[in-house]
Structure 1
Amino acid sequence: MASPAILNDSDDDDVFAEAFTRSKYKNAFNEDTWEEEFDKIPMFMKTVPEEIDPKEYPELAHIQAIIHDEDRTPEEKAQSLKNEGNEFFKEKNYPKAIVAYTAALKNKCGDQDLETVLLTNRAAAHFHLGNMRSALNDAAAAKKIKPGHLKALIRGAQCCIELRNFATAIQWCEEGLKAHPTDKKLQDLRAAADKHKRAAERDARKAKVKEKKLNHEKEALMAAIKERGVKLLQPVKPRQSGSDGEDDDEGSSTAVAELSLDGLSSHKATGAQVFLDEQNSLHWPVLFLYPEHQQSDFISAFCESNSFLDHFAVMFGEQLPPWDVDRKYHLQNLQLGAGIRCR
């Protein structure tokens, strides 16, 4: 048997070291792309890629093949998928976490503890995505399997609060406090739900009182209008008869219909409407049109005790409008048109 060679000479050591530094390790990372190559190793990955290409991520593809191995029991598959979902959840990739938890539940492993955890985990993922109905359904399903499951009870109460169903949230909390009487989270949720419930009931009472007041004011206004003998009418578009599109002779352009009080208010920028003041005087919104100059004036509250001349004295008094370049709109020259109507 040959004996190994031993280098004792220092010159030989230098030759060996120099040769070692010049040679490169064949399986080493590329100097320019070593960080990217390092990140492809499953153990050192910071995030899991959206799509796994076996050629680009061979190690990761093998791991996934093990996770989804058909030879394993449903419980083992569900547990592996649960762990996968948990990793996605930690990365805040909630849609992928939901996919993993759903795949785990489809295995129907029969382990009630595991199925309850999967449902509560999926409920948490839905909750973070704002899918409150789906989260509540999962929490309810988990509670059905294990009625005293703390996370399911907390998640269900949270979902009900977000959905503004405060009475049901209180029921979830009370049910949870029976099984976990000292749980601080349930106690806080119970207090928050009760506070929101009382605030919502108070707002509902205020809205009802306001609606009743508005209805009373509308009735008083209509009574005042009728008392003055004012008829509120609006033109009705003539009905068409037959396929030829000719207007019906009965009540064509002269047809009118009674105008409701809602038709006297504006929901546009002005917000003007007919109203009755504390002295029982009516105020009307009035629009003045000057077609010749394509101009207009608007009075939002024309009191019934005022005359048109009162307003004309202000509008065309000492200072005439700038659009009247010919200075024709003097107070003594003005005539009011006869076509006055509410639209």
Structure 2
Amino acid sequence: MADDSDEDFMDAFMDKFKTEKYDNAFNEENWEEEFERIPMFMSEAPPDDFDSQKYPELATLQAILHDEDRTPQEKAEDLKNEGNSYFKEKKYEKAIVSYSAALSMKSSDGDFKAVVFSNRAAAQFYLGNMRSALKDAMAARKLKPDHLKALIRGAQCCIELRCFAEAIKWCDMALKLHPTDKKLQELRAAADKQKRAADRDARKAKAKEKKLLAEKEALLNAIKNKGIKLLQSTQPRRGSDSDEEEDEGSSRGLSELRLDGLSSQEVTGAQVFINQEDGALYWPVLFLYPEHQQSDFISAFCENHCFSDHLAVMFGEELPPWDAEQKYHPPNLQLFFEDEQKETLFQVDPKKSLLQVLQHQRFFVKAGTPSFIVLVKDSPFCKQYLSTSKVQRL
């Protein structure tokens, strides 16, 4: 048994049905004439040469009944016309399906196939499928070298694909056949202008790349000349005690370096650079506080500055919030760097400059960022931490 809500819904639906007109309904004034166009209700057959636009249902029915009697060319023509109708309605996907079906009919008419390929190229173009559109334009040009629309479409596709030199070739080829066509002339001028702009941009990019390469080489030479070693992705073998073998490995690493060992910019946003005024290197430096799993980052640590200067700033009047016990005063702190290969910690004198430490024979800059461990002297954590490693003083 239906409830009241169902009845209310049906009442509302019927009221709406009475007041709104169905979009495809017969016209009240000439419904009999429209009725006569439907094959099932015709009182008499239309002439053999009836207008298919006036009797679309009858045309469709006859096409179904007599499809086997039609030649492949006739079928292909109908499919092409169907594609054209879809194209005019901007239904480009459906147009492509119809054009493809027309081409599958294996028509022997080269000019006809050239038109279909050209039409399909246009549909592909408006969908943004430039490579497919160019492929169809090339097929049309091969079948009919003077097909103007195919030539224009091919040039347009090349421009959209930024193949400006190829677009100019299409235009030059087409203008030999259609020398007065304004569209081709405009495309030729546009392709030439954009080619010159692209060539200019390429020259600028190449010059910029050359300049950056020179700056990188100068930076690497400065690092090498100062005796600083960079740890490469291919690291020296762990456990090797041969200084001679390590020195050879370091030399090979630097000669193959380029910027592999200066990759910190991707991670930290900073990279070592040369101050052009005094020739000093400024490094991104990382301080690690393992007791609290915290860190500090200095983006430009001058190689001539001492560690104590930076510690006085970082742990001056205001200590960090994570230092609940207020232990991290500069006089209480000890600095270390780790030699991963020898599994050794080297204690750093805070009064030494960054350059002096970087020049140590066992210091290797990793990922372009020197890093140091900071501990509170004689604290329980410090004693426990140092007990697990060999420790040497610089």
User: What is the TM-score normalised by the length of structure 1?
Assistant: 0.74
* Greater alpha carbon shift after TM alignment, 182-191 vs 261-270: 261-270
Amino acid at match of 2:117: L
Amino acid at match of 2:332: N
Counterparts in 2 of 1:132-151, with a 5 A limit?
132-151=130-149
Q: Which residue in the other structure is 1:216 paired with?
A: 214
Q: Which residue in the other structure is 1:301 paired with?
A: 300
Amino acid at match of 1:313: A
Q: Which residue in the other structure is 1:319 paired with?
A: 318
Cα distance in 1, alignment partners of residues 319 and 239 from structure 2: 47
How many correspondences in the alignment?
290
C-alpha offsets along residues 8-31 of structure 1, whole Å, 9 cap, x if unaligned?
Answer: xxxxxxxxxxxxxxxxxxxxxx97
Cα distance in 2, alignment partners of residues 218 and 262 from structure 1: 11
Q: Which residue in the other structure is 1:114 paired with?
A: 112
SS at match of 2:334: coil
Against the structure 1 CA distance between its residues 299 and 63, is the aligned structure 2 distance closer, same or farther, given a 3 Å change threshold? farther
Against the structure 1 CA distance between its residues 107 and 307, is the aligned structure 2 distance closer, same or farther, given a 3 Å change threshold? same
Task: Report the Cα offset of residue 181 of structure 1.
Answer: 2.4
Counterparts in 2 of 1:33-52, with a 5 A limit?
35=23
Cα distance in 2, alignment partners of residues 307 and 63 from structure 1: 96
1:167 aligns with 2:190: no
Against the structure 1 CA distance between its residues 310 and 64, is the aligned structure 2 distance closer, same or farther, given a 3 Å change threshold? farther
SS at match of 2:135: helix
Name the Cα RMSD after superposition: 3.3
Cα distance in 2, alignment partners of residues 235 and 103 from structure 1: 57
Conserved 8 A contact 1:160-1:169: yes
Amino acid at match of 1:216: A
User: What is the TM-score normalised by the length of structure 2?
Assistant: 0.65
Conserved 8 A contact 1:316-1:329: yes
Cα distance in 1, alignment partners of residues 174 and 165 from structure 2: 14
Amino acid at match of 1:69: D
Task: Report the Cα offset of residue 141 of structure 1.
Answer: 1.6
Against the structure 1 CA distance between its residues 216 and 268, is the aligned structure 2 distance closer, same or farther, given a 3 Å change threshold? closer
Counterparts in 2 of 1:166-205, with a 5 A limit?
166-205=164-203
Amino acid at match of 1:122: R
Q: Which residue in the other structure is 1:17 paired with?
A: none
* Greater alpha carbon shift after TM alignment, 255-264 vs 141-150: 255-264
Cα distance in 2, alignment partners of residues 318 and 249 from structure 1: 44
Task: Report the Cα offset of residue 38 of structure 1.
Answer: 5.9
Cα distance in 1, alignment partners of residues 125 and 285 from structure 2: 54
Task: Report the Cα offset of residue 338 of structure 1.
Answer: 3.5
Q: Which residue in the other structure is 2:273 paired with?
A: 275
Amino acid at match of 1:76: E
Conserved 8 A contact 1:97-1:125: yes
Cα distance in 1, alignment partners of residues 305 and 236 from structure 2: 36
- Percent identical among aligned pairs is 63
Cα distance in 2, alignment partners of residues 191 and 234 from structure 1: 51
* Greater alpha carbon shift after TM alignment, 157-166 vs 259-268: 259-268
Q: Where do 5+ consecutive residues of structure 2 fail to align?
A: 1-16, 28-34, 39-55, 339-362, 367-394
Q: Which residue in the other structure is 1:336 paired with?
A: 335
Conserved 8 A contact 1:265-1:274: no
SS at match of 1:298: strand
Against the structure 1 CA distance between its residues 202 and 84, is the aligned structure 2 distance closer, same or farther, given a 3 Å change threshold? same
Q: Which residue in the other structure is 1:71 paired with?
A: 69
Against the structure 1 CA distance between its residues 250 and 263, is the aligned structure 2 distance closer, same or farther, given a 3 Å change threshold? closer
Cα distance in 2, alignment partners of residues 264 and 297 from structure 1: 19
Q: Which residue in the other structure is 2:352 paired with?
A: none
Against the structure 1 CA distance between its residues 312 and 152, is the aligned structure 2 distance closer, same or farther, given a 3 Å change threshold? same
Q: Where do 5+ consecutive residues of structure 1 fail to align?
A: 1-29, 45-56, 240-247
* Greater alpha carbon shift after TM alignment, 318-327 vs 77-86: 318-327
Cα distance in 2, alignment partners of residues 214 and 324 from structure 1: 43
C-alpha offsets along residues 77-98 of structure 1, whole Å, 9 cap, x if unaligned?
Answer: 2211111111121222222212
C-alpha offsets along residues 262-315 of structure 1, whole Å, 9 cap, x if unaligned?
Answer: 222225352221222213211111100111122110011111111111211211
Conserved 8 A contact 1:274-1:284: yes
Cα distance in 2, alignment partners of residues 173 and 282 from structure 1: 55
Q: Which residue in the other structure is 1:123 paired with?
A: 121
Task: Report the Cα offset of residue 63 of structure 1.
Answer: 5.3
Compare relative contact order (CA 8 Å, sep 6+) and give the higher one, 1 or 2.
2
SS at match of 1:342: strand
C-alpha offsets along residues 111-161 of structure 1, whole Å, 9 cap, x if unaligned?
Answer: 333222111101111112222122112111211222221101110001101
SS at match of 1:285: strand
Against the structure 1 CA distance between its residues 60 and 301, is the aligned structure 2 distance closer, same or farther, given a 3 Å change threshold? farther
Cα distance in 2, alignment partners of residues 76 and 297 from structure 1: 79
Q: Which residue in the other structure is 1:19 paired with?
A: none
SS at match of 2:68: coil
C-alpha offsets along residues 15-53 of structure 1, whole Å, 9 cap, x if unaligned?
Answer: xxxxxxxxxxxxxxx9799545669x9x99xxxxxxxxx
Conserved 8 A contact 2:232-2:260: no
Conserved 8 A contact 2:232-2:261: no
SS at match of 1:86: helix
Amino acid at match of 2:142: K
